[in-house]
């Protein structure tokens, strides 16, 4: 379902979108429940990405999923549908999940670093990722996943706090908010670099070992 853009995005909120304000967490975010969080994200004007979105793409999955996958940001298909990873990259992600006997909505939650589509599918700017961080952090706290998988460089840099190539970041276990974090290629990259799918598979196995049980 498409939602109309909040009326205050382009005008009143412009001052609020100064980087300094955007970096302060939204009021009350740490105590929001799922409904409050969803509503706050739907009307969010914390960064310029609110201006061109059709709708914010909140995230999808089981509320207490052991696996959390974090992508970069919605593309055109996601902006249209309101669900993350529904386009071509999403189909590959679902196939990778299925190979690992995982399924979105069952033991997997899927979210993005930014919830609103960057125009032209450009990489989100660091200040946009920072403005959106509090929403993802609250999602993480509510879900309480046992492992986080960062998909691609934007998520990897945002969650590890390191600046490096994806190749330099993968293969190690990090922690984010106390939760084990691993890094792998973005499915959109894998669509263009099919041989690297084997490495992404290794990363999923590594994530599973990091999570610590074959059953989850």
Q: Which residues bind ligand SF4 (CB under 6 A)?
A: 41, 44-47, 49-50, 56, 114-116, 128, 131-132, 135
* Contact flags string 45-84 toward ligand URA, x per CB under 6 A: --------------------------xxxxx--x-----x
- Do residues 111 and 139 make contact, with C-beta atoms less than 8 angstroms apart? yes
Closest to ligand URA by CB, 38 or 209: 38
Sequence-distant (≥ 6) Cβ neighbours of residue 80 within 8 angstroms: 2, 54
Closest CB to ligand URA: residue number = 71
User: If you search the block for the tokens 């908010």, which residue do you land on?
Assistant: 177
Q: How far apart are CA 209 and CA 192, in angstroms?
A: 27
Question: Whole-number minimum distance, CB 94 to ligand SF4, in Å?
Answer: 24
Which one of the spans 25-33, 45-53, 86-94, 130-138 is the region binding ligand URA (CB under 6 A)? Answer: 86-94
Q: Count Cβ neighbours within 10 Å for each residue of 125-146 and write b for 16 or more, e otherwise.
A: eebbbbbbbbbbebbbeebebb
Residues numbered 141 to 200 that lie near ligand URA (CB under 6 A) are 188
Q: Could you say which DSSP state residue 4 is in?
A: P
Number of residues that bind ligand URA (CB under 6 A): 13
Among residues 13 and 67, whose Cβ is nearest to ligand URA? 67
**How many other C-beta atoms are found inside a 10 Å radius of the C-beta of residue 177?**
13
């Amino acid at each position: 379902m498409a939602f109309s853009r909040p009326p205050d995005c382009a005008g009143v909120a412009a001052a609020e979108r100064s980087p300094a304000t955007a970096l302060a967490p939204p009021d009350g975010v740490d105590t929001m429940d799922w409904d409050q969080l969803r509503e706050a994200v739907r009307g969010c004007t914390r960064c310029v990405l609110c201006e061109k979105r059709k709708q914010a793409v909140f995230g999808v999955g089981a509320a207490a999923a052991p696996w959390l996958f974090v992508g970069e940001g919605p593309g055109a298909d996601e902006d249209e549908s309101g669900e993350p990873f529904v386009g071509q990259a999403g189909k590959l992600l679902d196939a990778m999940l299925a190979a690992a006997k995982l399924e979105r909505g069952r033991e997997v939650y899927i979210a993005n670093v930014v919830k609103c589509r960057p125009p032209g599918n450009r990489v989100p700017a660091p200040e946009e990722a920072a403005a959106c961080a509090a929403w993802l952090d609250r999602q993480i706290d509510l879900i309480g996943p046992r492992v986080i998988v960062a998909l691609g460089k934007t998520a990897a840099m945002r969650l590890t706090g390191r600046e490096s190539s994806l190749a330099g970041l993968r293969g190690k276990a990090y922690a984010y908010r106390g939760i084990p974090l691993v890094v792998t290629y973005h499915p959109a990259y894998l669509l263009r670099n099919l041989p690297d799918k084997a490495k992404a598979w290794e990363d999923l196995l590594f994530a599973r070992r990091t999570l610590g049980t074959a059953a989850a």
